[in-house]
């Protein structure tokens, strides 16, 4: 009878096996990896465990620089994502920054539920998660997305039909926020430290198919054309 490993033990064992397998097929891989990273893309996605960026894009370690949070938001007052963006563009030289949402997003679903509630008031702080205080970190984080959901006026639409609308609109608004960051504004008006052109994109990952869907809202430097 095989011993059932605790999840933590299983992850450590799987890592050891993976490292051995990589070393066998590419003996110099880790040595080269330790010298530095040169990612082509900065991925801003949801923290949902079903959307692992490197797995769903078949990317190798070092190819994608990553920031993830609840409901893939880019807040203009969030120093965490803004510092990662500045580092990615100016010091790593990424050429693409992608906001990636996904279907069946729990954060978006919670915000939609609050937006569809008859008791919702937009006049003050919003309690998206009713079991938590309005000033809790989670409620404060979700409030902008709840306001986005409310702006769509989907209170009369069944939740299952409205959720994809919220997910997609959220990506569109976060891409707009991204375009308004100082880092992207500088990249498009002054150029970047490493001289690369920077493009921003919005995608949605479809959980039921495993496919990424491009919302076709890509933007880049004035006058530039995105090569296919």
Please give the positions annotated as active site: 46, 48, 50, 102, 105
CB 111 within 8 A of CB 166: yes
Helices (H) and strands (E) in the chain, counts: 8, 5
> How far apart, in whole angstroms, are the C-alpha atoms of residue 142 and residue 129?
9
CB 22 within 8 A of CB 29: yes
Strands (E) located in 49-151 = 64-69, 96-102
**Any residues with CB less than 8 A from the CB of 12 and at least 6 apart, and which?**
none
> How far apart, in whole angstroms, are the C-alpha atoms of residue 189 and residue 210?
37
CB 70 within 8 A of CB 141: yes
């Amino acid at each position: 009878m095989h011993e059932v490993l605790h999840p933590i033990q299983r992850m450590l064992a799987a890592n050891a096996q993976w490292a051995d397998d990589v070393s066998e097929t590419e003996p110099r891989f880790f040595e080269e990896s330790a010298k530095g990273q040169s990612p082509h893309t900065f991925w801003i996605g949801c923290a949902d465990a079903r959307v692992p960026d490197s797995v769903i894009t078949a990317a190798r370690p070092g190819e994608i620089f990553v920031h993830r949070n609840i409901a893939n938001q880019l807040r203009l007052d969030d120093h965490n994502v803004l510092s990662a963006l500045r580092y990615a563009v100016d010091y790593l030289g990424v050429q693409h920054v992608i906001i990636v949402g996904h279907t069946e997003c729990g954060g978006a679903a919670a915000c939609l539920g609050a937006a569809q509630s008859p008791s919702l008031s937009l006049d003050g702080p919003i309690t998206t998660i009713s079991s938590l205080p309005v000033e809790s970190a989670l409620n404060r984080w979700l409030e902008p997305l709840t306001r986005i959901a409310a702006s769509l006026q989907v209170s009369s639409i069944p939740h299952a039909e409205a959720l994809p609308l919220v997910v997609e609109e959220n990506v569109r608004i976060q891409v707009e926020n991204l375009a308004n960051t100082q880092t992207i504004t500088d990249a498009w008006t002054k150029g970047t430290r490493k001289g690369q052109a920077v493009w921003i994109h919005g995608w949605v990952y479809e959980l039921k198919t495993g496919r990424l869907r491009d919302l076709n809202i890509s933007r880049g430097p004035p006058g530039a054309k995105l090569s296919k």
